Structure 1
Amino acid sequence: MSKVDLNKIEEAVKMILEAVGEDTTREGLQDTPTRVAKMYAEMFSGINEDPREFFSTVFHEEHEELVLVKDIPFYSMCEHHLVPFYGKAHVAYIPHDGKVAGLSKLGRCVESVARRPQLQERITSTVADTLMEMLQPFGVYVVIEAEHMCMTMRGLKKPGSKTVTSVARGVFEEDEVKRREVISFIQMS
């Protein structure tokens, strides 16, 4: 995929500001298009990443029980309104044949998938599917909790409301006891 075109973003931001009736030459707005372009380049950096790359190195450990990294903070942009949504992800898997990933790789995967115009549901399933493909575990369970600015700033205007999505793969899809176990660990403070 191509690099971010900062000049094009700057032009577009200037046009939006003019379209809403702003004077883009006034002091507070003169550098806004440049700042927004740089911010978008950072916020959408995941477009050019493949989250599978974080699992190119795995380790072998005699462990075939639950691995859970919870409360992974993330920020994303709603693809419907281009406003932020943010929250935390909980990512769990049960290794198969002792194949484990570095714990930071789970957070990097979440971040990579979130840093693009996105839907919360897609982040949840993409993270789960990436782990299933790359680690081939007995199962994966991903829960994401997020607050969407498109619900708090406009439309419904309900600040503080959270959206929760979850995806179960493998043993977590089939085994109610395993699913309840991971949910209980996620709910622990």
Structure 2
Amino acid sequence: MNVLADRFADPVAAHAEATIAHLGEDPSRPGLLDTPRRFAKAMRFLTGGYSLEPADVVGSGIFPAEGEGAVLVRNVEFHSLCEHHLLPFFGHVHVAYLPDKKIIGLSKIPRIVDLFARRMQVQERLTQQVADALVELLEPKGVMVVAEARHLCMAMRGVEKQNSSTATHALRGVYTLDAASRQEILSMIREP
């Protein structure tokens, strides 16, 4: 192993330094000297979602429902890492649910999105996980999650299509059966 890698107690930093050297760069040059440590810190932040579950980020943020209308939180920004190439993908998620007996504090929905986005992911799974978490926490009449993202694994390598984006959705409960209810949420998402 590279002698320089031994200076890092963090194995992620040590591996990053070795990777830099294997790619043909000099990890001891001034511009790269602290890169392995910064890389390890960034990766721990970007994958911090493994240490928590939805109930952890929601805490006491669930309350009795007082109305019957749908709840929609639009344009929740997220950043994640594609599990296939460890390159970023980013975009926004729209999360709607039709309460039954419980509602959730509005700030908790972005926290749930971030929880799952801060894992090595695929967009399809991220969308499903957000929907499933709300079903488990709230037992609502329905959940609809729509995610739109740009993937750097498509823009920077492979097909190199910088303007492509991907949309995914997850439907639960009433939104799987009732096209009018789905359309109502889609219309709300498109509103300015």
TM-score bin, normalised by smaller chain = over 0.9
Write the distance in 1 (CA, Å) between the matches of 2:154 and 2:119. Answer: 19
Aligned to 2:107, the other structure's residue is in SS state helix
Number of residue pairs matched by the alignment: 184
Q: Note the C-alpha offset of 1:167.
A: 0.5
CA RMSD of the aligned region, Å? 1.3
Q: Note the C-alpha offset of 1:188.
A: 1.5
In structure 1, runs of 5+ residues without a counterpart are none
**Which residue does 2:4 correspond to in 1?**
none
- Cα deviation per residue 1:53-111 (whole Å; 9 max; x = unaligned)? 334421113112110001000000000000110000100001002x1100000000000
- The one-letter code of the counterpart of 1:83 is L
On the 8 A contact 1:55/1:135 being kept in 2, the answer is no
Write the distance in 1 (CA, Å) between the matches of 2:44 and 2:33. Answer: 19
**Which residue does 1:68 correspond to in 2?**
72
Write the distance in 2 (CA, Å) between the matches of 1:164 and 1:178. Answer: 19
On the 8 A contact 2:65/2:100 being kept in 1, the answer is no
Q: Deviation above 4 Å: which 4+ runs of structure 1?
A: none
Write the distance in 2 (CA, Å) between the matches of 1:180 and 1:56. Answer: 32
1:51 paired with 2:54, answer yes
In structure 2, runs of 5+ residues without a counterpart are 1-7
Aligned counterpart for 1:112 among listed residues 115, 118, 137: 115
Aligned pairs for 1:118-157 (under 5 A) are 118-157=121-160
**Which residue does 1:163 correspond to in 2?**
166
TM-score by length of 1: 0.94
1:24 paired with 2:24, answer no
Structure-2 change in CA distance of 1:6 and 1:111 (3 Å) = farther
How many percent identity over aligned positions?
44
TM-score by length of 2: 0.93
